Amino acid sequence: MRLLPLFLILAALGGCTRHLGAPDTPTAAPAPRPEAVTVIRDRVYTPADWPQALHADLYRPRAEGRYPAVLVVHGGGWARRSPADMADLARDLAEQGFVAMNIEYRFAPTHTFPAQLQDLQMAMRWLHAHADDYGVDRARVGAWGYFSGAHLVALLATVAANPDSPLNRPHGGPVTRPRAVVAGGTPADLRLFQGGELVPQFLGGGQDEIPAIHAQASPVTQVTGHTPPMFLYHGTLDGVVPVEHARIMRRALLANGVDNELYLMKGRGHVTAFLFGGGAEEAGMAFLRRHLAVP
């Protein structure tokens, strides 16, 4: 559960927002359907020869049918946390008519880039391969992440849509391309980080040592005209991932003619934008409903 002391809650709720690229008439969210969700836990989505067995929890509407799906990826600086952080969001998605696949992935520094991207690519392949088991419409699969999870879903989407990217080999390709992405607090350009340990330990070296890897691992460098639609949300006072990352990513998407929205959460920091992302999450779900054709 995402909880903080009351004074932090009141402070966080006081911030206003700015929503760029939204349609003139927002899509209203359908009312949640309590007790309408089935949860299937601890499904191994990696093959037997993968370096580490990785698990996913699936949340789906209880009623039979074919539903769009969303790959859900947690944050934690590529090095910590768990799918439990995204469990509430995954349940909300299922209540709104999606199958949510909430995954774990390998951590740095034991496993460095592109291991985490390859985990997501394998998760997408598994979801497509098991679509019949969980009532997934393979033509309507999206992705959602926050912080490092947002970086990974954005990179997954941009790489899969860019046939020239070597990161498609050996596990990527068109089947791993989400139809739409929601990304919060996204590190869009890893070259902007100066100092600190998270990015170097994730990539296997500092920018002065492996500048090409820092560029290749940045979603903003992989954007093409085939990049799927993307909804970005970001706290304007984010001290972990400065809001400039969201603005840079939006500019790249616009320059390539990619449908996108930017939801700025004024007065929110990195943690509060995640803990109190209600308005942004509602707008992100509306974005997914439009692009994944949810009635």
246-255 pLDDT, tens digit per residue, is 999 999 999 9
Could you tell me what percent of the chain has a pLDDT over 90?
86
- For residues 132 and 24, which has the higher predicted lDDT (pLDDT)? 132
pLDDT of residue 195: 86
**The Cα angle at residue 177 between residues 20 and 67, in degrees rounded to 5:** 85
The model's pTM is: 0.91
For residue 109, what are the CA distances in angstroms to 80, 181, 192, 199, 203? 10, 27, 20, 10, 8
Q: Which two tokens stand for residue 111?
A: 């496993």
Residue 8: pLDDT over 60: no
Quick one: residue 246, left, alpha or beta (phi over 0 = left, psi -120 to 50 = alpha)? alpha
SS3 85: helix
pLDDT of residue 295: 75
Residue 9: pLDDT over 90: no
Task: Give 23-61 pLDDT, tens digit per residue.
Answer: 544 445 455 445 699 999 999 999 999 999 999 999 999
Among 149, 246, 271, which Cα is nearest to 202's?
149
> Considering only 24-28, 170-174, 184-188, which range has the smallest mean pLDDT?
24-28
Residue 88: pLDDT over 70: yes
Mean pLDDT of 87-99: 97
pLDDT of residue 22: 63
> Considering only 7-21, 102-116, 119-133, 198-212, which range has the smallest mean pLDDT?
7-21
Q: Which two tokens stand for residue 191?
A: 């070259």
SS3 253: helix
Among 7, 11, 6, 3, which Cα is nearest to 266's?
11
- Give the architecture-level CATH label for domain 26-226: 3-Layer(aba) Sandwich (3.40)
How does residue 18 score in pLDDT terms, banded at 50, 70 and 90? low
> How far does CA 222 lie from the centroid of its chain?
16
